[in-house]
Amino acid sequence: MALALIVRRSASRIAPLAIRAIGSQQSRYHSLIFNGLNQEAAFSLTRGFGRTTFVSGFRQFSSSSDEKLLRVLESEIKCAEESDDQEVVQEAPEGFPFEIHDNPGEQTISLTREFNGETIKVEVHMPSLVTGEQDDDEDDGDDNNEGANASSIPLVVSICKKRVVCLEFGCTAYADEISIDSLSVKDPESSDDKIPYEGPDFADLDENLQRAFHKYLEIRGIKPSTTNFLHEYMINKDSGEYLQWLKNIKQFIEA
């Protein structure tokens, strides 16, 4: 009986101590978890704040950069609109033998006509403008450089007959002069991966043959009175296309 009483008393003293110890460990565990959650929440908040600040700053920088670009574009558009080149293109002169096909946004125009059973098509490119400045060591009296120092427009002239190959002339039109640079015979039904023989350099042909080909083109409408009008037409087109190009970029930036 005495031994049992001693055991019960010892157990009664130990149990509260064990409970308190377990409770204390649980409190510390809960405290650690709570502190960890607070730290993670604080880190997440800080991280989110940093990301938000970065994104906000980037948007502000991008917006400021776009506004500067828009201001420059608006200034350039105003200059282009006030340019002397922005003139209404005159109608083709009387007797102009070709029909003009001008598609906005393209850097070439095409001319077409029918002549004695032939279909003639001319592709006209943007002009190559020359300011007239020359190097100091050039001889101003050298007539051979006159054509090289003048503004010009490149032309590709195709002359086709039904069920027959086509002649294709590569030309450069100067003021009051047309130079033939190349001449090739092409099959319109030939695949694009085939490279036709383009003949010798046109300048290497016999002079009588060269003059005969120039006359051949002149009869079909490729002559200075035609190309001089095309030169002015393409200058105006170049200015107009540049202005529309600026407006398209401005519209994209504003979108």
For residue 188, being part of any structural domain is answered with yes
In this structure, are 118 and 184 located in the same domain?
Answer: yes
Contact criterion met (CB below 8 Å) for 234 and 109: yes
Q: Which residues does 89 contact at the CB level (< 8 Å), separation at least 6?
A: 232, 233, 236, 237
Q: Which domain holds residue 119?
A: 99-131+147-247
In a domain, 240, yes or no: yes
Counting beta carbons within 10 angstroms of the beta carbon of residue 98, is it exposed (0 to 12), middle (13 to 18) or buried (19 or more)? buried
Residue 201 and residue 210 in contact, taking contact as beta carbons nearer than 8 Å: no
47 and 122 both lie in a single domain:
no
Identify whether 179 is part of a domain.
Answer: yes
Over the stretch 201-235, which tens digit does the pLDDT of each residue have? Answer: 999 999 999 999 999 999 999 999 999 999 999 99
Torsion sign over Cα 235, 236, 240, 241:
negative
Does residue 115 sit in the same domain as residue 224? yes
Residues in the chain: 255
pTM (global) more than 0.85? no
Task: Confirm whether 88 is domain-assigned.
Answer: no
The percent helix, strand, coil of the chain (3-state, each to 5) is 50, 20, 30
Least Cα distance to 72 among 251, 212, 246, 255 occurs for 246
Q: How many domains does the chain have?
A: 2
What DSSP element (H or E) covers 112?
A: strand 108-115
Please report whether residue 142 resides in a domain. Answer: no
**pLDDT at residue number 83:** 76
What is the reported pLDDT for 187?
A: 84
Please report, for residues 23, 28, 32, the alpha-carbon distance to residue 18 in angstroms, rounded to integers and kept in the order given.
8, 15, 21
Residue 91: inside a domain = no
| CB burial of residue 54 (10 Å; 0-12, 13-18, 19+) | exposed
- Residue 12 sits in the same domain as residue 123: no
Q: Do 58 and 114 reside in the same domain of the chain? A: no
Which stretches of the chain drop beneath a pLDDT of 50?
A: 1-34, 36-37, 41-43, 45-46, 86, 135-138, 144-148
CA 72 vs. chain centroid, Å, equals 19
Same domain, 204 and 117: yes
CATH number, domain at 121?
A: 3.10.280.10
Q: Considering the domain boundaries, does residue 139 fall inside one?
A: no
pLDDT confidence of residue 45: 45
Has residue 172 been placed in a domain?
yes
